Amino acid sequence: EKRQPAEWIPRPPERYALTGHRAPITRVVFHPVWSVMASCSEDSTIKIWDYETGEFERSLKGHTDSVQDIAFDKTGKMLVSCSADMSIKVWEFGGSYACVKTLKGHDHNISSVCFLPSGDAILSASRDHTIKLWEVASGYCVHTFRGHSEWVRMVRVSPDGVLFASASNDQSVMVWSLQSKSVKATLREHEHVVECVEWAPDTALAPIRTEAGHKANGDLGAGPTHVVVSGSRDKMIKIWDALTGTVMFSLIGHDNWVRGLRFHPRGKFLVSVADDKTLRVWDIAQRRCAKTIDAHQHFVTSVAGHKANGDLGAGPTHVVVSGSRDKMIKIWDALTGTVMFSLIGHDNWVRGLRFHPRGKFLVSVADDKTLRVWDIAQRRCAKTIDAHQHFVTSVDFHQTAPYVITSSVDLSCKVYSWIEHCSGLTVGTVRATYIY
């Protein structure tokens, strides 16, 4: 029987408490298919948990230092992990759970790792200033990308898997070709650390081409086919042709570090948030800030978008929600920049926001140790849950199953079930028992 959105509201008490990690948990991820989750920790282990039964499944041991990041391939048959022990491990998932490959070659802490869309290769970024491409089948490093002079913080693969972009403490963004293994472009016009980088979706190419003086008729030869947007501590947002390295234009207006960037799904608008406490809506085609919003009384810490689909009544169809250190959550009309209403209730910094997939509810977490469920249509807090013993740092929905996961400074992650009406039972808790 199909359940109504109102039935998907969590409520304590916890159903299970799962313990095992002995140091802070660095990452937790859902399996793309099965009802399991994986966690990695500074205790050098990866643990697998059944979040429906609350049962601990197994530990994956092999790293000798903090495990920094983990990721599944899109099929869920492989798990990759990277560690401060300067190794990457590929694990068979679902059968033997054995480490089938150990990849070594980095000379310092490995900060991020991900599968390419094809699943046959892995990219890793490290504090040794390099990015490495690994062949999954052989475990060989097929190429080392050198060019950055400082810690490589972030790697993002283009949607088509042809290119990837890397951001570094050296104040540059580099675009690399996965086929030729060469640098296609280098953006060195930022004057501070590059905080964020994002690939423009196909829907954004037409307005970007229009502004850059190209024809916006869909002809791929009429303008850039790959566009990267970067935000920096120098307060600038730059939009550039990823293939030529040409900065097409800059968006100037923020008065502090640019922290986040998101494209509107239709591509015409770009939303940015920064430490100047503002949220800005940029009209890409006109190269201007369409709206500057004094969003909060303190730094804007989180932002999310939502297509309303009638759940906000006769109002706008596209909204943006922001959370701040001023304890406020604000709902904005994404096209006009108008504050529609505010949600007040948290007693400390708001750390994370996520819309329910069906749109009626918004969940938020904050330093007041709570998880709150907001009924958007009624503009009220439908449920407050004392989720953790310390600051709650992030929240997310499972993509296909009715579960919400939270993480906290108290060294635990909790999975809430939204199936039963107002049940809110925690079906699993991963908790560290020691700190060293």
Per-residue pLDDT of the chain (436 residues; tens, 9 = 90+): 454 433 433 344 545 656 788 887 777 777 989 989 899 898 999 999 988 887 889 999 999 999 988 889 989 999 999 999 999 999 999 889 999 999 999 999 988 888 898 999 999 989 999 999 999 999 999 999 999 999 887 888 887 889 998 888 899 999 999 999 989 888 888 889 887 888 888 888 887 877 666 543 444 445 668 888 898 889 999 988 888 888 888 999 898 988 777 777 677 888 887 888 787 888 888 888 887 777 656 666 666 666 665 555 556 667 888 888 888 898 888 777 778 888 988 988 899 898 887 778 899 999 999 999 998 888 888 888 888 888 998 888 887 777 888 888 888 888 887 754 334 455 556 554 433 3
Q: Specify if 307 maps to a domain.
A: no
Q: Specify if 266 maps to a domain.
A: yes
Instruction: Classify the C-alpha dihedral 195-333-382-347 as positive or negative.
Output: positive
Number of domains in the chain: 1
Instruction: Judge contact between 414 and 20, C-beta under 8 A.
Output: no
Report the CATH number that the domain containing residue 175 is assigned in CATH.
2.130.10.10
* Nearest C-alpha neighbor of 183 from the set 172, 195, 194, 193: 172
Q: What angle do CA 61, 81, 53 make, to 5 degrees?
A: 65
Q: What stretches of 212-302 show up as alpha helix (H) in DSSP?
A: none
Q: Specify if 363 maps to a domain.
A: no
DSSP for 143-194 reads: EEEE--SS-EEEEEE-TTSSEEEEEETTS-EEEEETTT-SEEEEE---SS-E
Looking at residue 79, its amino acid is: L
Can you give the C-alpha Rg of the chain in angstroms?
Answer: 22
Per the DSSP assignment, residues forming a β-bridge with 70 are 81
Query: CA dist 238 to 151, 175, 302, 309, Å?
Result: 21, 14, 21, 32
Q: Specify if 421 maps to a domain.
A: no
Whole-number pLDDT of residue 11: 41
* Nearest C-alpha neighbor of 431 from the set 401, 397, 406, 394: 406
Instruction: Judge contact between 164 and 174, C-beta under 8 A.
Output: no
Q: Specify if 283 maps to a domain.
A: yes
Q: Specify if 337 maps to a domain.
A: no
Q: What percent of the chain is helix, strand and coil (3-state, nearest 5)?
A: 5, 50, 45
* Nearest C-alpha neighbor of 44 from the set 60, 65, 59, 18: 65
The boundaries of the domain holding residue 238 are 147-294
What gap in Å lies between CA 168 and CA 183, rounded to an integer?
Answer: 15
Looking at residue 320, its amino acid is: V
Q: Specify if 360 maps to a domain.
A: no
* Nearest C-alpha neighbor of 273 from the set 290, 288, 287, 292: 292
Instruction: Judge contact between 235 and 258, C-beta under 8 A.
Output: yes
Residue appearing with tokens 């283009």:
158
Q: Specify if 274 maps to a domain.
A: yes
